[in-house]
Amino acid sequence: MSEVERTVIIGSGPAGWSAAIYAARASLHPLLFEGTTKPEMIPLGQLAFTTEVENYAGFPAGNIRAFVESAVDKERHWNLPPAPKGHERDGQPHYAVQGVELMELMKQQALNFGTRVVGDDIVEVDFSQRPLVVKPASGPAVQAHTVIVATGARANYLGLESEHMYKNKGVSACAVCDGALPIYRSKPLAVIGGGDSAVEEATYLANLQGAETIYLIHRRDQLRASQIMQERALNHPKIKLVWNSAVEEVMGDGKQVTGLKLRNTVDKSLSELAVRGMFVAIGHTPNTDFLKGQLKMKPNGYIEWTQPFRTITSVEGVFAAGDVADDYYRQAITSAGTGCMAALDSERYLAEKGHS
Ligand SMILES: Cc1cc2nc3c(=O)[nH]c(=O)nc-3n(C[C@H](O)[C@H](O)[C@H](O)COP(=O)(O)OP(=O)(O)OC[C@H]3O[C@@H](n4cnc5c(N)ncnc54)[C@H](O)[C@@H]3O)c2cc1C
């Protein structure tokens, strides 16, 4: 094994890159494993699946492409999606930063300060020994004094082909992220699910200015959500419950969602519901399989932060950042925030142990 790393970061979403920026600027010379492409998981994280990001502070709509191209190394320009058409002001492009653009900027910032990036997955760890050990899918195991886990969580989808086809064209898994975008604004929409997060998503959409009917579609005849959340949904004038129904197909015109084909789970009859968007709210799966038995997890599989306002985990020297530990806020900016915290926690730990 080669020399012991001070900080290894696992994951390449907002949490991973923010941790890398802070760790690199603190001269920890971090080594970041950015993962590989798998179903519902790609390098650059969950934001790389979306189009415009309107709520990341510091990125109001504007001539973003000119800035991105000036900041990101030329050899990665191939990864930038085309600038959206029809978003011009005074003859210049004028749009909110796209997910991949924002993530390429974060990556660039981390590279500029000396982060070393490996395009591989970590498939196993051994946190029972010192130094800590992380094992990539290919290549030798790496020893480290500190490890920041920032592997995120993936949204669960229904698994329909038609659903996949209309992602970003009317299918989303995040109302707070996407609900205010023009394709959903003031349109009839459906939320799928029956738990607290489904009710929260439906309520969020129903409370947006100019909201149309929000259909909350659930496969049973009662919600799983807590009593208070249920009352919120049942009493909201814009939320309409559709009981005993499962989505059989997402319908559309090729460009955008136009409706849903629903199967009644009791009498098996089929019906159609005209909506312009579908928000899937059937939970998330944290990317923690490779950590089983190594770190304390919450019952839902998310890593447990063992101290309030710290990114400390059950193992000394191992820190967790972003959605892999946060099953509540799940936003890019909160993930970036805890990524920064994890790097600072890591730096202080290394100084305490004399490894700085
Ligand atoms: C469609 C969609 C739209 C969204 N829109 C918005 C929005 O507009 N605004 C907003 O704030 N939030 C939005 N979000 C939520 C936001 O994307 C997440 O909260 C955020 O990306 C979480 O960041 P993270 O760094 O914790 O994890 P992630 O972004 O999930 O990144 C984790 C990374 O770790 C890698 N990884 C996983 N396992 C391993 C491993 N074993 N080894 C190495 N690497 C690994 C993955 O490949 C991935 O690159 C959206 C989410 C989705 C799905």
Q: Which amino acid is at 93?
A: P
Last residue of a domain, which of 280, 314, 337?
Answer: 280
Q: Are 277 and 180 in contact (CB under 8 A)?
A: no
- For residue 129, the enclosing domain spans 5-155+284-352
The pLDDT assigned to 134 comes to: 98
Residues 198 and 328 in one domain: no
Residues 340 and 210 in one domain: no
Residue 242: is its pLDDT beyond 80?
yes
Residue 1: is its pLDDT beyond 70?
no
Residues 184 and 311 in one domain: no
Interhelix angle 64-71/99-112, nearest 10 degrees? 30
Mean pLDDT of the chain: 95
Choose the residue to mutate in 33, 52, 79, 151 for probing ligand 1, maximizing ligand atoms within 8 Å of C-beta: 151
Tokens of 226: 């807590």
Q: What is the CATH number of the domain that holds 56?
A: 3.50.50.60
Q: State the Cα–Cα distance between residues 304 and 132, nearest whole angstrom.
A: 19
Q: Which amino acid is at 185?
A: R
Higher pLDDT, 197 or 105: 105
Catalytic residue positions? 174, 177-178
Q: Are 150 and 16 in contact (CB under 8 A)?
A: yes
Q: State the Cα–Cα distance between residues 302 and 299, nearest whole angstrom.
A: 8
Query: How many Cβ atoms sit within 10 Å of the Cβ of residue 270?
Result: 10
Residues 186 and 292 in one domain: no
Residue 356: is its pLDDT beyond 80?
no
Q: Where does the pLDDT of residue 274 fall: very low under 50, low under 70, confident under 90, or very high at 90 and above? A: very high
Query: How many Cβ atoms sit within 10 Å of the Cβ of residue 81?
Result: 12
Q: Are 214 and 247 in contact (CB under 8 A)?
A: no
Ligand 1 in reach of 133 Cβ (< 6 A): no
Ligand 1 in reach of 134 Cβ (< 6 A): no
Last residue of a domain, which of 235, 263, 280?
Answer: 280
Residues 239 and 337 in one domain: no
Mean pLDDT over residues 98-112, rounded? Answer: 97
Tell me how long the chain is. 356
Residue nearest to atom 5 of ligand 1 (CA): 177
Report CA Rg, the chain.
22
Residues 57 and 44 in one domain: yes
pLDDT, tens digit, 9 for 90 and up, residues 52-99: 899 999 999 999 999 999 999 999 999 999 888 888 898 888 999 999
Q: Are 123 and 134 in contact (CB under 8 A)?
A: no
Residues 264 and 204 in one domain: yes
Count CA atoms within 13 Å of residue 356 on its CB side: 16
Last residue of a domain, which of 254, 280, 306?
Answer: 280
Residues 215 and 123 in one domain: no
The pLDDT assigned to 229 comes to: 83
Ligand 1 in reach of 41 Cβ (< 6 A): yes
Q: State the Cα–Cα distance between residues 148 and 317, nearest whole angstrom.
A: 8
Residue 5: is its pLDDT beyond 80?
yes
Residues 126 and 34 in one domain: yes
Residues 143 and 288 in one domain: yes
CA-wise closest residue to 173 among 323, 340, 338: 323
Three-state SS at 355: coil
Instruction: Determine what percent of the chain falls in helix, strand and coil, rounding each to the nearest 5.
Output: 30, 25, 45
Q: State the Cα–Cα distance between residues 167 and 315, nearest whole angstrom.
A: 38
How far, in Å, is the centroid of ligand 1 from the Cα of 79?
A: 17
The reply to whether the predicted model has a pTM over 0.75 is yes
Residue nearest to atom 20 of ligand 1 (CA): 332
**How many structural domains comprise the chain?**
2
Show the CA angle centred on residue 115, arms to residues 112 and 119, nearest 5°.
Answer: 115
* % the chain with pLDDT above 90: 87
Mean pLDDT over residues 138-157, rounded? Answer: 96
Residues 122 and 249 in one domain: no
DSSP label at 46? Answer: G
Residues 92 and 60 in one domain: yes
